């Protein structure tokens, strides 16, 4: 029966997936210990493509660079465009091109970190590959996992991608300056997200206008001071 229904192959796929995730967990634990020894706090930013992660980082760097030393690991399938944008802000950045893979893993972060290690910084941002599914399964050794949802995406994202919200500590609702132009229910997205993760801290903000940004910046300052 297995030869016809393919369940044996499926069992092999599941076993391989478990092995990959177990190996990743081991490396992530080592990353976390190393970051702690160095006194570095790590923020893993997860979202769908186009939610405004890079724009948020640019605004964050502008606001905090005179207060807190920062560095960035950029994850993208191809190109260094986002890294170039961050580089112009004057902070150390390493681009990780995944060649089509839909997430960063702990080993990639480990290697990228060692390229940054000679620099002094207190906060390390990891801009994960634009995807709300795959990155949720991979611990990178971060202190804070942040999931972004932008107004143009629609308010049903928590229901469609619950794992990303369940495993996060913070959710940013970005591009709220566009609320008048899109059918986006701010109360609905917060309700859906909190049903999945009651401990989730939700911050609506606009990196363009600065609305709500002070709450995000205060969160980062508190994290860096621990």
Q: How far apart are CA 49 and CA 200, in angstroms?
A: 22
Task: Cite the beta strand spans of the chain per DSSP E.
Answer: 41-46, 70-76, 93-97, 123-127, 144-150, 170-174, 201-204
pLDDT one digit per residue (tens) for the chain, 226 residues: 455 566 777 666 666 667 888 999 999 999 999 999 999 999 999 999 999 999 999 999 999 999 999 999 999 998 899 999 999 999 999 999 998 789 999 999 999 999 999 999 999 999 999 999 999 999 999 999 999 999 999 999 999 999 999 999 999 999 999 999 999 999 999 999 999 999 999 999 999 999 999 999 999 999 999 9
Strand-pairing partners, residue 46, are 147
- CA distances from residue 81 to 39, 47, 49, 96, 164 in whole angstroms, order as listed: 29, 17, 14, 11, 25
Domain with residue 146: its CATH number is: 3.40.50.300
The percent of residues in the chain predicted with pLDDT above 70, rounded, is 93
Looking at the structure of the chain, the number of domains it has is 1
Residues ≥6 apart with Cβ < 8 Å to 16: none
Host domain of residue 100:
2-225
- State the pairing for strand pair 123-127/41-46: parallel
Categorise residue 171: left if φ over 0, alpha if ψ from -120 to 50, beta otherwise: beta
The pLDDT tens digits for 102-126 are 999 999 999 999 999 999 999 999 9
């Amino acid at each position: 029966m297995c030869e016809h229904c393919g369940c044996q192959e499926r069992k092999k796929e599941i076993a391989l997936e478990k092995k990959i995730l177990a190996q990743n967990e081991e490396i992530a634990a080592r990353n976390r210990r190393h970051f702690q020894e160095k006194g570095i706090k790590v923020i893993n930013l997860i979202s769908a493509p186009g939610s405004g992660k890079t724009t948020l980082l640019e605004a964050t760097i502008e606001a905090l660079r005179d207060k807190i030393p920062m560095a960035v690991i950029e994850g993208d399938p191809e190109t260094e465009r986002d890294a170039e944008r961050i580089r112009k802000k004057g902070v150390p950045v390493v681009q990780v091109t995944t060649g089509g893979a839909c997430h960063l893993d702990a080993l990639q972060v480990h290697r990228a970190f060692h390229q940054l290690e000679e620099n002094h910084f207190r906060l390390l941002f990891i801009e994960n590959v634009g995807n709300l599914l795959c990155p949720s399964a991979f611990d990178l050794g971060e202190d804070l996992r942040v999931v972004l949802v932008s107004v143009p995406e629609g308010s049903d994202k928590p229901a469609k991608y619950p794992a990303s919200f369940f495993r996060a500590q913070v959710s940013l609702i970005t591009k709220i300056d566009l609320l008048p132009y899109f059918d986006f229910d701010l109360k609905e997205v917060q309700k859906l997200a909190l049903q999945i993760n009651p401990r989730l801290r939700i911050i609506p903000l606009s990196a363009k206008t600065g609305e709500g940004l002070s709450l995000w910046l205060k969160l980062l300052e508190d994290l860096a001071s621990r």
